[in-house]
Amino acid sequence: MSTPSATAGTSPRRVVASSLAGTVIEWYEFYIYGTAAALVFDELFFPSFDSFVGTLLSLSTFAIAFVARPLGAAVFGHYGDRLGRKTLLVVSLTMMGGATFLIGLLPGYGSIGVAAPLLLIVLRLIQGVSLGGEYGGAVLMSVEHAAPHRRGLFGGIINTGASLGLVLASAVFAITGLLPEDAFMSWGWRIPFLFSVVLLALGIGIRLRVAESPEFTAVRQQDRIEKLPIRTAVAGYGGRILLMALAYLPTGAIFYLAAVFSLSYGTDTLDVSRSTMLVMVCFANVAAVAGLIYCGWLSDRIDRKAIYFWGVAGMIVTPWIWFLMINTGNRAVMFLGFLVLFIPHCASYGAMPAFFAQLYPPHIRYTGLALGYAIGTVVGSGLSPLVATALLGTDNNWPAVAVFITVLNIAALVATTKLSEDHAGKPAVAVPSTSPA
C-alpha cells in the first residue's frame, strides 16, 4: 500500500490551526494556575503558614499536575494509538477546561477550611492528566498530516502554543492585576479561570472539524492496531522513552524558570511589582514565538538532532547570564536577560516536536511520545520551580539554582547523543520487528 497522502481529508494548514488553537487553550489554562500559584494561592489556600512555606506549598500544587502527566500519557497514549488522535484531543481539552472553570469557583481556606486545598489538588490532578495526553496528540496530528520536509515547521508552530498560552494568561492576569489588591485577592483572580469556558467552546468547535491523522488511518486500514500499545512501547522502546525524557529536562526547566519561578523571585526577592514581571514574561514569550517557528523551519533544512543538541548546550550558560541580568533590577536589562534565556531554548523546543515524534513508529507513536514527554516534565517542568524556590531559600542563593539547571543540561546532552529519528518520513506500514533502545 502506498504512503497516505499528507493532505488527505483535511489540509495540513487547517490541522495545524486546529492543533495550535487547542494547544494554546490548554496551555493558557495550565499557566493561569501557575501564575495564581506563584502570586495568590499561598494566601488563599495556605494562609496558616509563613510567606516562604506558603509559596512552597502553593508551588507544590503546581508540581502535582506534572506527577499526574505520566498517567495521562499512558491512558491517552493507549487510546490514541487504538482509537485515533482526534477523539482523544477533544477529550483532553474538555477535561482541562472543566477543571479550570471549577477552580475559578472554588472557595478559599477561610470559607471551607482544609477542604479548599484538597479540592484544589484534585482539580489540579485532572489538569495534569489532561495535559499529559494533550501534547502528544496535538503534535502528531500536525506532524503526521505534514509532508516530511515540513514536519519541523509544523511542529515548531505547535510548540508556540506554550508561549502563546502563557502570553494570553499573563495578559489576562496583568489586566486583572490592575484591580485594587483587596478586589484582586477576593474575586479578580477568578476571572482568568472562568474565562476559560469561552475558550473551551471555541477550541472544541475547531477540533471537531478536522480529519484523523493519515498515518493513523493507514495503521488502522492495515490492521496494525496494538491491543496494548503501552506494553509494546515499553518493551520495544523503553530505553528510548527514558532517553527522550532525559533529553527534555532542561528545555522544560528553562521555560518554567522564566514562566513561574521568575514571578515569585521578582516580587519577593527583587521587590519588582507583579504587573512588571508579568509584562516582561509576556513580551519575552512573544519574541519566543518567532524563534520557535524559525527553528522549526530550520530543522527541516539542517540536521534536526544537531539543532536540538546545540540548543541544550547553550542552556548550560544562559541561566547564569539571566540571573546576573535580572538581579540588576534595571527593567531594560532584566528584559534582555529573558531574551538571552530564550534563544537556545527556542532552538531545542522548536526542533523538538518532529525530532521526538519520529523516534517511534506510527502504531505506538502516541504512547511513546506522550510517555517520554510526560516523564521528562515531572522533573524538568513540574519540580523545577519548586526545587529552584527551595534552593534559593531565604538568602537569595541563586547560584545553586543555576547549578541545578546546568546539571539537567549535561544529562540532556548525553541522552540526546543516543537518540535518532529512525522513523522520519517513513510510511505507516514500515513497522520494524525489533526496536532500538
Per residue in 336-388, pLDDT (tens digit) is: 999 999 999 999 999 999 999 999 999 999 999 999 999 998 888 877 877 88
Place of cell 494547544: 23
The predicted pLDDT at position 170 comes to 77
The predicted pLDDT at position 431 comes to 38
Residue type, 238: G
Residue 322 resides in a domain: yes
Answer positive or negative: Cα dihedral of 349, 353, 355, 356: positive
d(CA 231, CA 233): 5
Residue 426 resides in a domain: no
The predicted pLDDT at position 235 comes to 93
Burial annotation 190-204 (CB, 10 A radius, 16+ → b, else e): bbbbebbeebbeebb
What residues contact 428, with CB distance under 8 A and at least 6 apart? 3, 4, 214, 215, 216, 218, 219, 222, 224, 362, 363
d(CA 385, CA 59): 7
Residue 284 resides in a domain: yes
What residues contact 298, with CB distance under 8 A and at least 6 apart? 152, 307, 350, 351
Residue 6 resides in a domain: no
SS3 at position 329: coil
Cell of 30: 495550565
The predicted pLDDT at position 7 comes to 40
d(CA 235, CA 59): 35
CATH number at residue 17: 1.20.1250.20
- For 82, 152, 155, the CA distances from 299, given in Å and listed in that order, are 30, 6, 10
Place of cell 492528566: 129
Q: Work out the angle at residue 242's Cα, subtended by the Cα atoms of residues 313 and 382, and round it to the nearest 5 degrees.
A: 70
DSSP 47: T
The predicted pLDDT at position 434 comes to 37
CA atoms within 13 A on the CB side of 39: 29
Integer Rg of the chain from CA: 21
Distance of CA 73 to the CA centre of its chain: 13
Burial annotation 409-435 (CB, 10 A radius, 16+ → b, else e): bebbbebbeebebbbeebebbebeeeb
> Which regions in the chain score pLDDT beneath 50?
1-9, 426-437
The answer to whether 145 and 15 have CB atoms below 8 angstroms apart is yes
Selection from 311, 7, 252 nearest residue 150 by Cα: 7
pLDDT in tens, 249-286: 999 899 888 877 888 888 888 888 877 888 888 899 99
Residue 20 resides in a domain: yes
Residue 80 resides in a domain: yes
The predicted pLDDT at position 162 comes to 85
Total number of domains in the chain: 1
The predicted pLDDT at position 4 comes to 40
The predicted pLDDT at position 432 comes to 38
The answer to whether 412 and 309 have CB atoms below 8 angstroms apart is no
Residue 223 resides in a domain: no
Residue 218 resides in a domain: no
Selection from 248, 255, 269, 402 nearest residue 327 by Cα: 269
Query: What is the domain extent for residue 124?
Result: 12-207+229-417
d(CA 108, CA 94): 25
